[in-house]
Structure 1
Amino acid sequence: MIAKKVLLVGNFGVGKTSLIRRFVLNEFSEDYISTIGVRVSKKVVEYQNETIKLMIWDVAGTSGNEKIPKAYFLGAHGAMFVFDLSREETFLTIDKNLQMVKDLSGIENITIVGNKKDLLTDEEVQNVVKKVSVDIDLITSAKEGDNVEDAFMQLTAQTLK
């Protein structure tokens, strides 16, 4: 079995913890509990005939200005940047935030996920996609479970490159 450390990063309240709960436990809660520091979850997945233990580091969200301790990023094999499709402030500075994650982690290919699609119409989602300055890998809903498994499988694939 291969162990891989992966990071979920992004602003506070974008749904990182909810995505992890949906993926690891297949649960969703409307209750918002802010992550303080970092929380680590584990899930064993099968990918391309490999058994991989994902060590999923749920890094506390920021409002953009706070510095995240570099120690959280050390030894990471992959990263997912999550933003909230319904909150413009979570994706307006996405370029700067992605660069910070790349600088801290050394990871070049970061999976980009727009979460909370259940709060928007399809047309609104398309308008957001046009506004975001980077290519979005997946549009998810932790609440409804849409594309959550796919997002983590893409993240898993990133760790093996």
Structure 2
Amino acid sequence: MLQKKICLLGAFGVGKTSLVRRFVDTIFSDTYLTTVGVKIDKKLLTIGTEQMALILWDIAGEDEVSAVRVSYLRGAAGYLLVVDGTRPETLDTAVSIQARVGAEVGDVPFVVLLNKADLQEDWAIPQERIERLEAAGWAFRRTSAKTGMGVEETFQELAARLAR
């Protein structure tokens, strides 16, 4: 069985823990829980005919004061950058994180999750900004940990990329 380490990275409060809970346990809670350090979960998937265990490292949120501990990133096969679509500054944080992660773990697959898509009326990230990053090779997916929209598909997509 293949085992792949996936890190979830992003600013505080973007929904990393909620996305993992939705994917692993198919539940959502409005209660905000701050992750301290790292929380590790595991989910088994079938990719084609292969079994794959995703080892999900939900890493504490980042702001200008606290940065991702690079030791958590070692051995990562891929990562998910989580952005809160209602808070444009979380995309700035994701750009900063991506540059540091690339320097630490090299060119590994990643997907950017534009989370909180259920709050479309509060959306604040300009489409032009997303298009510029897509032109630079970034893959964006809209997700909602609350409704489940796009969550399973995005994790499956990244797993499929890692199985190649």
TM-score between both structures, scaled by the size of structure 1: 0.90
The 10-residue stretch of structure 1 (104-113 or 51-60) with the greater mean CA deviation from structure 2: 104-113
Return the alpha-carbon distance in structure 2 between the equivalents of residues 49 and 120 of structure 1: 37
Map residues 13-52 of structure 1 onto 2, 5 A cutoff: 13-52=13-52
Query: 1:4 maps to what in 2?
Result: 4
Query: 2:61 maps to what in 1?
Result: 61
Return the alpha-carbon distance in structure 1 between the equivalents of residues 148 and 116 of structure 2: 10
Residue 153 (structure 2) pairs with residue 158 (structure 1): no
Return the alpha-carbon distance in structure 1 between the equivalents of residues 15 and 104 of structure 2: 22
User: Does the 8 Å contact 1:78/1:158 carry over to 2?
Assistant: no
User: Could you tell me which amino acid in structure 1 is paired with residue 75 of structure 2?
Assistant: G
Return the alpha-carbon distance in structure 2 between the equivalents of residues 92 and 57 of structure 1: 22
Q: How far does the alpha carbon of each residue in 1:128-151 deviate from its partner, in whole angstroms, 9 at most, with x for none?
A: 332334224210000000000011
User: Does the 8 Å contact 1:7/1:56 carry over to 2?
Assistant: yes
User: Does the 8 Å contact 1:85/1:115 carry over to 2?
Assistant: yes
**Secondary structure in 1 matching 2:154:** helix
Query: 1:129 maps to what in 2?
Result: 127
Query: 2:102 maps to what in 1?
Result: 102
Unaligned runs of at least 5 residues, structure 1: none
User: Could you tell me which amino acid in structure 2 is paired with residue 60 of structure 1?
Assistant: A
Corresponding pairs, count: 159
Map residues 109-124 of structure 1 onto 2, 5 A cutoff: 109-121=109-121, 124=123
After TM superposition, where is structure 1 displaced by more than 3 Å over at least 4 residues in a row?
none
Unaligned runs of at least 5 residues, structure 2: none
* Root-mean-square deviation (Å): 1.8
The 10-residue stretch of structure 1 (4-13 or 103-112) with the greater mean CA deviation from structure 2: 103-112
The 10-residue stretch of structure 1 (61-70 or 41-50) with the greater mean CA deviation from structure 2: 61-70
User: Could you tell me which amino acid in structure 2 is paired with residue 51 of structure 1?
Assistant: Q
